[in-house]
Structure 1
Amino acid sequence: MRLLIEANNIVIKRLSALDSTAVCASVAQYFSPRKNIAMAINAPLHETIEVDQYRARVGLCQGLSLGAFETTSGRMIAFYINRIETGGKTNGSAVTSDTDYFKEKYEWVGPISRLSEHAKENIFRDTGVEKPFEIDFGAVDPKYSKHGISTTLSIMSEDVAKENGCDSIASFVTSSYTLGSLKKLGYSIASRFDLSYYVDRKTGLRPFVNATPPHNIVGSLYKLL
Protein backbone atom coordinates (compact mmCIF):
# COMPACT_ATOMS: atom_id res chain seq x y z
CA MET A 1 0.00 0.00 0.00
CA ARG A 2 1.20 3.53 -0.77
CA LEU A 3 0.49 6.26 1.80
CA LEU A 4 -1.36 9.17 0.22
CA ILE A 5 -2.46 11.33 3.14
CA GLU A 6 -2.60 11.31 6.94
CA ALA A 7 -4.80 13.64 8.99
CA ASN A 8 -7.12 13.57 12.02
CA ASN A 9 -5.89 10.12 13.05
CA ILE A 10 -6.93 8.68 9.67
CA VAL A 11 -4.60 7.43 6.96
CA ILE A 12 -5.60 7.19 3.29
CA LYS A 13 -3.69 4.60 1.26
CA ARG A 14 -3.70 3.17 -2.24
CA LEU A 15 -4.93 -0.43 -2.14
CA SER A 16 -3.79 -3.52 -4.01
CA ALA A 17 -4.78 -7.17 -4.31
CA LEU A 18 -2.89 -7.77 -1.05
CA ASP A 19 -5.66 -5.85 0.75
CA SER A 20 -8.44 -8.12 -0.46
CA THR A 21 -8.92 -9.80 2.93
CA ALA A 22 -9.42 -6.49 4.74
CA VAL A 23 -11.69 -5.11 2.02
CA CYS A 24 -13.83 -8.26 1.87
CA ALA A 25 -14.17 -8.19 5.66
CA SER A 26 -15.32 -4.57 5.40
CA VAL A 27 -17.89 -5.46 2.76
CA ALA A 28 -19.40 -8.01 5.12
CA GLN A 29 -19.03 -5.99 8.32
CA TYR A 30 -20.08 -2.48 7.35
CA PHE A 31 -22.62 -3.33 4.71
CA SER A 32 -22.77 -4.94 1.32
CA PRO A 33 -22.72 -1.97 -1.12
CA ARG A 34 -25.88 -3.12 -2.87
CA LYS A 35 -27.59 -4.51 0.22
CA ASN A 36 -30.42 -2.00 0.33
CA ILE A 37 -31.43 -2.53 -3.28
CA ALA A 38 -31.04 -6.29 -2.89
CA MET A 39 -33.27 -6.27 0.19
CA ALA A 40 -35.99 -4.65 -1.88
CA ILE A 41 -36.16 -7.83 -3.98
CA ASN A 42 -35.60 -10.18 -1.02
CA ALA A 43 -32.06 -11.20 -1.99
CA PRO A 44 -30.32 -13.08 0.86
CA LEU A 45 -27.63 -10.92 2.45
CA HIS A 46 -24.98 -13.65 2.30
CA GLU A 47 -25.45 -13.85 -1.47
CA THR A 48 -25.09 -10.10 -1.98
CA ILE A 49 -21.94 -10.13 0.15
CA GLU A 50 -20.50 -12.97 -1.95
CA VAL A 51 -21.09 -11.07 -5.19
CA ASP A 52 -19.70 -7.78 -3.90
CA GLN A 53 -16.67 -9.41 -2.32
CA TYR A 54 -15.88 -10.92 -5.70
CA ARG A 55 -16.27 -7.54 -7.41
CA ALA A 56 -13.97 -6.01 -4.79
CA ARG A 57 -11.25 -8.60 -5.41
CA VAL A 58 -11.42 -8.01 -9.17
CA GLY A 59 -11.32 -4.24 -8.75
CA LEU A 60 -8.33 -4.35 -6.41
CA CYS A 61 -6.23 -5.99 -9.11
CA GLN A 62 -5.93 -2.71 -10.99
CA GLY A 63 -4.28 -0.97 -8.02
CA LEU A 64 -6.49 2.10 -8.31
CA SER A 65 -8.63 1.65 -5.20
CA LEU A 66 -8.34 3.61 -1.96
CA GLY A 67 -8.70 2.74 1.71
CA ALA A 68 -8.99 4.72 4.93
CA PHE A 69 -7.44 3.35 8.12
CA GLU A 70 -7.25 4.34 11.78
CA THR A 71 -3.67 5.42 12.50
CA THR A 72 -3.66 3.88 15.98
CA SER A 73 -5.16 0.46 15.28
CA GLY A 74 -4.52 0.16 11.55
CA ARG A 75 -8.14 -0.92 11.13
CA MET A 76 -9.76 -0.28 7.76
CA ILE A 77 -12.73 2.04 8.18
CA ALA A 78 -13.60 2.78 4.55
CA PHE A 79 -12.73 1.85 0.99
CA TYR A 80 -13.44 2.86 -2.59
CA ILE A 81 -13.11 0.26 -5.36
CA ASN A 82 -11.97 2.10 -8.50
CA ARG A 83 -11.17 0.95 -12.01
CA ILE A 84 -10.46 2.22 -15.49
CA GLU A 85 -12.84 1.44 -18.30
CA THR A 86 -12.05 1.33 -21.99
CA GLY A 87 -14.72 1.14 -24.65
CA GLY A 88 -17.41 0.61 -22.05
CA LYS A 89 -15.71 -2.52 -20.62
CA THR A 90 -13.53 -2.83 -17.59
CA ASN A 91 -9.86 -2.85 -18.53
CA GLY A 92 -7.98 -5.97 -17.52
CA SER A 93 -10.79 -7.91 -15.85
CA ALA A 94 -13.55 -10.38 -16.55
CA VAL A 95 -16.36 -8.57 -14.77
CA THR A 96 -18.80 -8.89 -17.66
CA SER A 97 -18.48 -12.68 -18.04
CA ASP A 98 -18.50 -13.22 -14.29
CA THR A 99 -21.59 -11.05 -13.94
CA ASP A 100 -23.25 -13.46 -16.36
CA TYR A 101 -22.12 -16.32 -14.10
CA PHE A 102 -23.75 -14.72 -11.07
CA LYS A 103 -26.89 -13.99 -13.06
CA GLU A 104 -27.26 -17.72 -13.60
CA LYS A 105 -26.36 -18.55 -10.01
CA TYR A 106 -28.64 -15.99 -8.31
CA GLU A 107 -31.90 -14.83 -9.84
CA TRP A 108 -31.78 -11.40 -8.15
CA VAL A 109 -28.50 -10.42 -9.87
CA GLY A 110 -30.20 -9.96 -13.25
CA PRO A 111 -32.52 -7.08 -12.26
CA ILE A 112 -29.73 -5.23 -10.43
CA SER A 113 -27.29 -5.68 -13.33
CA ARG A 114 -29.85 -4.42 -15.83
CA LEU A 115 -30.59 -1.44 -13.60
CA SER A 116 -26.89 -0.56 -13.45
CA GLU A 117 -26.49 -0.99 -17.21
CA HIS A 118 -29.55 1.17 -17.84
CA ALA A 119 -28.26 3.91 -15.57
CA LYS A 120 -24.83 3.91 -17.24
CA GLU A 121 -26.22 3.77 -20.78
CA ASN A 122 -24.81 6.54 -22.97
CA ILE A 123 -23.40 8.27 -19.88
CA PHE A 124 -20.70 9.99 -21.93
CA ARG A 125 -22.74 10.61 -25.04
CA ASP A 126 -21.61 13.76 -26.89
CA THR A 127 -18.83 14.45 -24.36
CA GLY A 128 -15.85 13.14 -26.35
CA VAL A 129 -14.68 11.02 -23.43
CA GLU A 130 -12.12 8.37 -24.37
CA LYS A 131 -10.77 7.02 -21.08
CA PRO A 132 -13.31 7.03 -18.23
CA PHE A 133 -12.42 6.19 -14.64
CA GLU A 134 -15.10 4.55 -12.50
CA ILE A 135 -15.76 4.60 -8.77
CA ASP A 136 -17.38 1.17 -8.71
CA PHE A 137 -18.54 1.08 -5.10
CA GLY A 138 -17.44 1.84 -1.57
CA ALA A 139 -18.28 1.42 2.08
CA VAL A 140 -17.68 3.46 5.22
CA ASP A 141 -17.82 2.28 8.81
CA PRO A 142 -21.05 3.82 10.21
CA LYS A 143 -19.04 5.20 13.14
CA TYR A 144 -17.24 7.44 10.65
CA SER A 145 -20.19 8.32 8.44
CA LYS A 146 -20.12 12.02 9.38
CA HIS A 147 -16.37 12.53 9.16
CA GLY A 148 -16.14 13.50 5.49
CA ILE A 149 -14.26 10.33 4.59
CA SER A 150 -16.43 9.53 1.59
CA THR A 151 -15.92 13.06 0.23
CA THR A 152 -12.16 12.75 0.75
CA LEU A 153 -12.05 9.40 -1.06
CA SER A 154 -14.08 10.86 -3.94
CA ILE A 155 -11.70 13.79 -4.33
CA MET A 156 -8.63 11.58 -4.08
CA SER A 157 -10.12 9.19 -6.64
CA GLU A 158 -10.12 12.11 -9.07
CA ASP A 159 -6.39 12.52 -8.42
CA VAL A 160 -5.81 8.82 -9.12
CA ALA A 161 -7.82 9.14 -12.33
CA LYS A 162 -5.74 12.10 -13.50
CA GLU A 163 -2.49 10.32 -12.61
CA ASN A 164 -3.55 7.50 -14.92
CA GLY A 165 -4.44 9.74 -17.84
CA CYS A 166 -8.22 9.49 -17.53
CA ASP A 167 -10.33 12.30 -18.93
CA SER A 168 -13.43 11.70 -16.80
CA ILE A 169 -14.72 10.02 -13.66
CA ALA A 170 -18.10 8.37 -13.15
CA SER A 171 -20.07 6.50 -10.52
CA PHE A 172 -23.33 4.56 -10.24
CA VAL A 173 -24.88 5.57 -6.91
CA THR A 174 -27.60 3.86 -4.91
CA SER A 175 -28.91 6.60 -2.64
CA SER A 176 -30.14 10.17 -2.91
CA TYR A 177 -27.57 11.13 -0.25
CA THR A 178 -24.61 9.98 -2.35
CA LEU A 179 -26.11 11.54 -5.46
CA GLY A 180 -26.36 14.88 -3.68
CA SER A 181 -22.82 14.60 -2.30
CA LEU A 182 -21.29 14.04 -5.74
CA LYS A 183 -23.28 16.93 -7.20
CA LYS A 184 -21.64 19.20 -4.63
CA LEU A 185 -18.27 18.00 -5.93
CA GLY A 186 -19.11 19.13 -9.46
CA TYR A 187 -20.55 15.93 -10.91
CA SER A 188 -23.30 16.05 -13.52
CA ILE A 189 -26.27 13.70 -13.40
CA ALA A 190 -26.43 11.43 -16.45
CA SER A 191 -29.41 9.41 -15.23
CA ARG A 192 -31.67 9.31 -12.19
CA PHE A 193 -34.36 6.78 -11.32
CA ASP A 194 -36.91 6.52 -8.54
CA LEU A 195 -37.02 2.79 -7.90
CA SER A 196 -40.60 3.04 -6.68
CA TYR A 197 -41.57 3.49 -10.32
CA TYR A 198 -38.65 1.93 -12.19
CA VAL A 199 -39.65 -0.69 -14.79
CA ASP A 200 -37.23 -3.46 -15.79
CA ARG A 201 -36.90 -3.18 -19.56
CA LYS A 202 -36.52 -6.94 -19.99
CA THR A 203 -39.40 -8.17 -17.82
CA GLY A 204 -41.71 -5.15 -17.75
CA LEU A 205 -41.95 -5.56 -13.97
CA ARG A 206 -41.14 -3.19 -11.10
CA PRO A 207 -38.63 -5.29 -9.11
CA PHE A 208 -37.55 -2.56 -6.68
CA VAL A 209 -40.94 -1.16 -5.71
CA ASN A 210 -40.18 -1.91 -2.04
CA ALA A 211 -37.00 0.17 -1.96
CA THR A 212 -37.06 2.73 0.85
CA PRO A 213 -35.49 6.21 1.11
CA PRO A 214 -32.77 7.21 0.63
CA HIS A 215 -32.04 4.06 -1.39
CA ASN A 216 -35.04 4.43 -3.66
CA ILE A 217 -33.10 6.99 -5.70
CA VAL A 218 -30.30 5.68 -7.93
CA GLY A 219 -28.43 6.98 -10.93
CA SER A 220 -25.16 7.65 -12.70
CA LEU A 221 -23.06 10.76 -12.41
CA TYR A 222 -19.90 11.90 -14.18
CA LYS A 223 -17.33 14.67 -14.15
CA LEU A 224 -14.94 15.70 -16.90
CA LEU A 225 -11.34 16.02 -15.73
Structure 2
Amino acid sequence: MVSAPIRVAVVDDEELVRIGLAAIISAAPDLTVVGEAGDGAEVPPLLSRTRPDVILMDVRMPRIDGLQATRHLLETRPDPPRVLMITTLEHDEYVYAALRAGASGFLLKRSRPAQVLEAIRVVAAGESLLFPAAIRRMAAAYGRTTPPARLTAREGEVLRLMAEGLSNGEIAGRLVLGAETVKTHVGNVLAKLGARDRTQAVIAAYESGFVVPGSGG
Protein backbone atom coordinates (compact mmCIF):
# COMPACT_ATOMS: atom_id res chain seq x y z
CA MET A 1 0.00 0.00 0.00
CA VAL A 2 1.39 3.39 -1.04
CA SER A 3 1.38 6.06 1.67
CA ALA A 4 -0.35 9.36 0.98
CA PRO A 5 2.04 12.20 0.11
CA ILE A 6 3.09 14.55 2.89
CA ARG A 7 0.98 17.70 2.57
CA VAL A 8 3.05 20.90 2.66
CA ALA A 9 2.09 24.59 2.78
CA VAL A 10 4.56 27.38 2.03
CA VAL A 11 4.25 30.77 3.76
CA ASP A 12 6.67 33.48 2.63
CA ASP A 13 6.19 37.09 1.57
CA GLU A 14 8.66 36.73 -1.32
CA GLU A 15 6.89 35.26 -4.33
CA LEU A 16 10.10 33.96 -5.91
CA VAL A 17 10.94 32.07 -2.72
CA ARG A 18 7.47 30.52 -2.63
CA ILE A 19 7.71 29.51 -6.28
CA GLY A 20 11.17 28.00 -5.80
CA LEU A 21 10.22 26.03 -2.71
CA ALA A 22 6.97 24.83 -4.29
CA ALA A 23 8.86 23.61 -7.36
CA ILE A 24 11.39 21.71 -5.23
CA ILE A 25 8.69 20.10 -3.11
CA SER A 26 6.39 19.22 -6.00
CA ALA A 27 9.21 17.35 -7.75
CA ALA A 28 9.37 14.82 -4.90
CA PRO A 29 6.96 11.88 -5.31
CA ASP A 30 6.23 11.62 -1.58
CA LEU A 31 5.46 15.32 -1.06
CA THR A 32 2.76 17.64 -2.36
CA VAL A 33 2.19 21.39 -2.05
CA VAL A 34 -1.37 22.03 -0.92
CA GLY A 35 -1.27 25.79 -0.50
CA GLU A 36 0.74 28.99 -0.35
CA ALA A 37 0.43 32.30 1.51
CA GLY A 38 2.34 35.57 1.57
CA ASP A 39 1.78 36.64 5.18
CA GLY A 40 1.15 35.18 8.62
CA ALA A 41 -2.30 36.76 8.61
CA GLU A 42 -3.26 34.30 5.86
CA VAL A 43 -2.25 31.21 7.84
CA PRO A 44 -5.55 30.45 9.68
CA PRO A 45 -7.69 30.31 6.50
CA LEU A 46 -4.88 28.47 4.71
CA LEU A 47 -4.90 25.77 7.40
CA SER A 48 -8.67 25.41 7.33
CA ARG A 49 -8.66 25.14 3.55
CA THR A 50 -5.67 22.85 2.98
CA ARG A 51 -4.96 20.94 6.23
CA PRO A 52 -1.18 20.56 5.68
CA ASP A 53 1.05 18.17 7.61
CA VAL A 54 3.99 20.60 7.51
CA ILE A 55 4.21 24.38 7.07
CA LEU A 56 7.35 26.09 5.83
CA MET A 57 7.02 29.42 7.63
CA ASP A 58 9.06 32.51 6.82
CA VAL A 59 10.31 34.37 9.88
CA ARG A 60 9.92 37.99 8.80
CA MET A 61 6.70 39.06 7.06
CA PRO A 62 5.07 42.49 6.86
CA ARG A 63 1.78 42.20 8.76
CA ILE A 64 2.00 39.13 10.99
CA ASP A 65 5.45 37.55 11.21
CA GLY A 66 6.24 33.86 11.38
CA LEU A 67 6.70 33.88 15.14
CA GLN A 68 3.23 35.28 15.81
CA ALA A 69 1.64 32.97 13.25
CA THR A 70 3.42 29.92 14.67
CA ARG A 71 2.54 30.71 18.26
CA HIS A 72 -1.12 31.29 17.32
CA LEU A 73 -1.55 28.05 15.41
CA LEU A 74 0.22 25.96 18.05
CA GLU A 75 -1.90 27.47 20.81
CA THR A 76 -5.25 27.33 19.04
CA ARG A 77 -5.19 24.19 16.89
CA PRO A 78 -5.92 20.88 18.65
CA ASP A 79 -3.78 18.96 16.14
CA PRO A 80 -1.50 21.58 14.57
CA PRO A 81 0.78 20.91 11.61
CA ARG A 82 4.49 20.73 12.16
CA VAL A 83 6.24 24.06 11.56
CA LEU A 84 9.61 24.52 9.87
CA MET A 85 10.84 28.10 10.12
CA ILE A 86 12.71 29.36 7.04
CA THR A 87 15.22 32.16 7.43
CA THR A 88 18.33 33.73 5.97
CA LEU A 89 20.18 33.84 9.30
CA GLU A 90 20.66 30.85 11.58
CA HIS A 91 21.06 33.06 14.67
CA ASP A 92 17.85 35.02 14.08
CA GLU A 93 16.19 35.84 17.43
CA TYR A 94 12.77 35.31 15.84
CA VAL A 95 13.78 31.74 14.94
CA TYR A 96 14.89 31.11 18.48
CA ALA A 97 11.62 32.43 19.89
CA ALA A 98 9.68 30.26 17.44
CA LEU A 99 11.62 27.17 18.49
CA ARG A 100 10.83 27.95 22.11
CA ALA A 101 7.17 28.35 21.14
CA GLY A 102 7.09 24.88 19.60
CA ALA A 103 8.32 25.02 16.01
CA SER A 104 9.95 21.74 15.01
CA GLY A 105 13.09 23.25 13.54
CA PHE A 106 14.41 25.77 11.07
CA LEU A 107 15.74 25.76 7.55
CA LEU A 108 18.10 28.25 5.94
CA LYS A 109 16.96 29.74 2.65
CA ARG A 110 20.32 28.85 1.14
CA SER A 111 19.75 25.14 1.86
CA ARG A 112 20.15 22.72 -1.05
CA PRO A 113 16.98 21.14 -2.49
CA ALA A 114 17.82 17.74 -1.01
CA GLN A 115 18.15 19.34 2.43
CA VAL A 116 14.76 21.02 2.07
CA LEU A 117 13.07 17.73 1.20
CA GLU A 118 14.78 15.79 3.98
CA ALA A 119 13.88 18.47 6.54
CA ILE A 120 10.20 18.20 5.60
CA ARG A 121 10.30 14.40 5.87
CA VAL A 122 12.03 14.53 9.26
CA VAL A 123 9.50 16.83 10.91
CA ALA A 124 6.54 15.12 9.22
CA ALA A 125 7.69 11.88 10.86
CA GLY A 126 7.39 13.54 14.27
CA GLU A 127 11.07 14.27 14.80
CA SER A 128 12.70 17.66 15.35
CA LEU A 129 15.23 19.16 12.99
CA LEU A 130 18.12 20.00 15.28
CA PHE A 131 21.23 22.03 14.52
CA PRO A 132 22.95 21.74 17.92
CA ALA A 133 25.69 24.30 17.27
CA ALA A 134 23.22 26.90 16.03
CA ILE A 135 20.79 26.26 18.89
CA ARG A 136 23.66 26.58 21.37
CA ARG A 137 24.64 29.96 19.90
CA MET A 138 21.04 31.18 19.93
CA ALA A 139 20.55 30.02 23.50
CA ALA A 140 23.66 31.91 24.56
CA ALA A 141 22.55 35.05 22.75
CA TYR A 142 18.82 35.07 23.46
CA GLY A 143 18.07 32.50 26.12
CA ARG A 144 17.04 33.06 29.69
CA THR A 145 18.52 30.96 32.45
CA THR A 146 16.02 28.45 33.79
CA PRO A 147 16.39 25.93 36.62
CA PRO A 148 17.25 22.39 35.46
CA ALA A 149 14.63 19.70 35.87
CA ARG A 150 15.13 16.76 38.24
CA LEU A 151 16.38 14.21 35.77
CA THR A 152 17.73 10.79 36.65
CA ALA A 153 21.34 10.06 35.68
CA ARG A 154 20.19 8.04 32.66
CA GLU A 155 17.75 10.75 31.58
CA GLY A 156 20.58 13.26 31.82
CA GLU A 157 22.71 11.09 29.52
CA VAL A 158 19.84 10.87 27.06
CA LEU A 159 19.32 14.65 27.11
CA ARG A 160 23.00 15.31 26.43
CA LEU A 161 22.89 12.99 23.43
CA MET A 162 19.70 14.67 22.24
CA ALA A 163 21.64 17.94 22.40
CA GLU A 164 24.21 16.40 20.05
CA GLY A 165 21.41 15.86 17.56
CA LEU A 166 21.28 12.07 17.88
CA SER A 167 18.11 10.19 16.96
CA ASN A 168 16.51 7.64 19.29
CA GLY A 169 18.17 4.83 17.35
CA GLU A 170 21.58 6.47 17.62
CA ILE A 171 21.10 7.08 21.35
CA ALA A 172 20.15 3.42 21.79
CA GLY A 173 23.36 2.37 20.06
CA ARG A 174 25.52 4.78 22.05
CA LEU A 175 24.07 3.73 25.43
CA VAL A 176 23.49 0.07 24.49
CA LEU A 177 19.79 0.28 25.26
CA GLY A 178 16.65 -0.94 23.53
CA ALA A 179 14.78 1.46 21.26
CA GLU A 180 11.65 1.37 23.43
CA THR A 181 13.70 2.11 26.54
CA VAL A 182 15.21 5.16 24.89
CA LYS A 183 11.77 6.27 23.73
CA THR A 184 10.57 6.05 27.34
CA HIS A 185 13.54 8.06 28.61
CA VAL A 186 12.98 10.74 25.95
CA GLY A 187 9.32 10.95 26.93
CA ASN A 188 10.26 11.35 30.59
CA VAL A 189 12.76 14.10 29.73
CA LEU A 190 10.16 16.01 27.72
CA ALA A 191 7.60 15.67 30.51
CA LYS A 192 9.98 16.83 33.25
CA LEU A 193 11.16 19.79 31.18
CA GLY A 194 7.64 20.70 30.10
CA ALA A 195 8.88 20.54 26.51
CA ARG A 196 6.65 20.04 23.48
CA ASP A 197 9.39 18.23 21.56
CA ARG A 198 13.12 17.51 21.35
CA THR A 199 13.99 20.99 20.13
CA GLN A 200 12.44 22.61 23.19
CA ALA A 201 14.17 20.07 25.43
CA VAL A 202 17.57 20.87 23.93
CA ILE A 203 16.95 24.60 24.24
CA ALA A 204 16.03 24.11 27.91
CA ALA A 205 19.21 22.09 28.43
CA TYR A 206 21.38 24.90 27.11
CA GLU A 207 19.45 27.67 28.85
CA SER A 208 19.75 25.95 32.21
CA GLY A 209 23.46 25.30 31.79
CA PHE A 210 22.84 21.54 32.00
CA VAL A 211 24.56 21.21 28.62
CA VAL A 212 27.40 23.63 27.91
CA PRO A 213 29.71 24.21 24.94
CA GLY A 214 32.46 21.62 24.88
CA SER A 215 30.49 19.09 26.96
CA GLY A 216 29.58 16.99 23.95
CA GLY A 217 26.48 19.04 23.05
- Asked if TM exceeds 0.5, the reply is no
Normalized per residue, which structure has more helix?
2
RCO higher in 1 or 2 (8 Å CA, sep ≥ 6)? Answer: 1
Normalized per residue, which structure has more strand?
1
TM-score (norm. length: structure 2)? 0.29
